[in-house]
Amino acid sequence: MQDLPNMHDADAIPAEARSEIDRLFATGDLFRYHAPENAPVSVVEAEFAALLGAKYAVAVSSCSAALFLSLKSLGLPRDARVMVPAFTFAAVPSAVIHADCIPVLCEIGENYRIDLTDFEAKIDDVDAVIISHMRGHTSDMDAIMALCDARDIPVVEDAAHSLGTVWNGRNIGTIGKIGCFSFQSYKMVNAGEGGILITDDAELAARAVIMSGAYEHNWKKHMLRGDNSADLEDAFAKWQNKLPLYNQRMSNLSAVVIRPQLPLLAKRVEDGRRNHDHTAKLIDQSPWITVPAPLAGESRAPDSLQFNLTGMSDADVHAFVSAAAAEGVKVQVFGMSTDNARAFWNWEFLPERRELPQTRSMLMRACDTRLPARLTIEQCEKVADILTGAAVAVMSTTRAYGT
């Protein structure tokens, strides 16, 4: 059997990035608005927009910054209410608070997706919606868009960890008004830090560009695509000097690290999906493990594996985590690891706090383990053996001693 590599290592940066990094070092050309044109950040915006099939892209310092700028671009007033899933990363409700808005948490089902009953019950109480596609698990975007469109409520997609996921033939991030992505090291494209937002709306794009820190006429250095550049010119003229500059720009250094990874995305998605689906099928055979089925229409781009433990007590769950770790597979149970940033009860900074029993019970049994696209099938089979073996070891002990 093959040894498992360190699954927490990030992916190496393609060597092609080197020559551009050397050029930036030699010239000191790190600021996106330094050169008169074709700055790497502007080029990566054009390439990313083309890759996703969006008209406009604005590269920024993180996905959290992209979410913040999305809400600001939508012109939401102070104390506007923004629905966010109760299963997301703490940075998401934080971006809502940063934008002077109030997060309203929506229940999540055992399948990690938006509970549409709770969503519908809360929709008339909110002014905007952020959908986090957690680890690429896509909620029913047709139902969500129908409910929001009927009320003219804007949807922002938090696709931080979902680059490459497709919903009914459409790229995730292009379904709502704005889509936001992350280039933090554990996402599909690794620049250490970084984010980008995409939209087809010229007005939103122009507002986001200015607020991201395009002071004076630096917006002219953005290579924004678009069928109608007159729309954009009008939007920039309209908003010149009218908006705060939050200075959340991306540096050229990040852009040259991102660019050579974009052509690798399709293969990463394909390999990640192969690894995930193979491993998921194997562990799903265990009586103590369930992998939620994908929704029809969803095609994910996984670099990690999520599954639920069933029929286990809290003590069994802890024992399972220890047994898997002893064999080299680190598993995190979202609701059980201390101070987990994806457990809503740890978001003590929220202005309004409510109990969400369904999301809580899901988080207490939902496991997360990395499964990088670079693993071989044999290595994935070893991961599956370790996980199913750990469950058997724990549950046969429980049975034997009759707790």
Ligand X SMILES: *Cc1c(COP(=O)(O)O)cnc(C)c1O
List the beta bridge partners of residue 332.
368
Among 60, 63, 99, 366, binds ligand X (CB under 6 A): 63
Window 149 to 188, contacts with ligand X (CB under 6 A)? 158, 160-161, 182, 184
CB of 185 to ligand X, least distance (A): 9
Among 54, 76, 86, 91, binds ligand X (CB under 6 A): 91
Q: Cβ closer to ligand X: 135 or 221?
A: 135
Q: Cβ closer to ligand X: 59 or 291?
A: 59
CB of 230 to ligand X, least distance (A): 33
85 is an interface residue for ligand X by CB under 6 A: no
Count of residues in contact with ligand X, rule CB under 6 A:
15
Q: Cβ closer to ligand X: 134 or 155?
A: 134
Region near ligand X per CB under 6 A, out of 62-70, 227-235, 303-311, 391-399 = 62-70
Q: Cβ closer to ligand X: 63 or 323?
A: 63
* Calpha distance 268→373 (Å, rounded): 6
- With vertex at residue 55, the alpha carbon angle to CA 50 and CA 57, rounded to the nearest 5 degrees, is 75
333 exposed, middle or buried (CB, 10 Å; 0-12, 13-18, 19+)? buried
CB of 271 to ligand X, least distance (A): 20
DSSP notation for 383-399: HHHHHHHHHHHHHHHHH
Q: Cβ closer to ligand X: 333 or 386?
A: 333
CB of 119 to ligand X, least distance (A): 17
Region near ligand X per CB under 6 A, out of 83-91, 96-104, 245-253, 367-375 = 83-91
Site string for ligand X, 114-133 (x = CB under 6 A): ------------------x-
Q: Cβ closer to ligand X: 172 or 323?
A: 172
Tokens 């969503």 found at: 119
Q: Cβ closer to ligand X: 64 or 165?
A: 64
CB of 172 to ligand X, least distance (A): 11
Q: How many helices (H) and strands (E) does the chain have?
A: 13, 14
88 is an interface residue for ligand X by CB under 6 A: yes
Region near ligand X per CB under 6 A, out of 57-65, 68-76, 96-104, 257-265 = 57-65
* Calpha distance 129→365 (Å, rounded): 27
Q: Cβ closer to ligand X: 88 or 212?
A: 88
* Calpha distance 8→369 (Å, rounded): 10
Q: Cβ closer to ligand X: 129 or 384?
A: 129
* Calpha distance 58→45 (Å, rounded): 6
89 is an interface residue for ligand X by CB under 6 A: yes
Q: For 65, list phi and psi in degrees, rounded to 5.
A: -65, -40
Window 185 to 214, contacts with ligand X (CB under 6 A)? 195
Q: Cβ closer to ligand X: 88 or 388?
A: 88
* Calpha distance 1→389 (Å, rounded): 15
CB of 366 to ligand X, least distance (A): 14
381 exposed, middle or buried (CB, 10 Å; 0-12, 13-18, 19+)? middle
* Calpha distance 276→93 (Å, rounded): 29
To which H or E segment does residue 93 belong? helix 91-98
* Calpha distance 263→244 (Å, rounded): 35
Window 228 to 257, contacts with ligand X (CB under 6 A)? none
342 is an interface residue for ligand X by CB under 6 A: no
For 240, residues 6+ apart whose C-beta sits below 8 A from its C-beta are 210
Buried b (16+ CB within 10 A) or exposed e, 120-136: eebbeebbbbbbbbbbb
Are 382 and 2 contacting, i.e. CB atoms less than 8 angstroms apart? yes
Which residues of the shown chain bind ligand X in the complex (CB under 6 A)?
62-64, 88-89, 91-92, 132, 134, 158, 160-161, 182, 184, 195
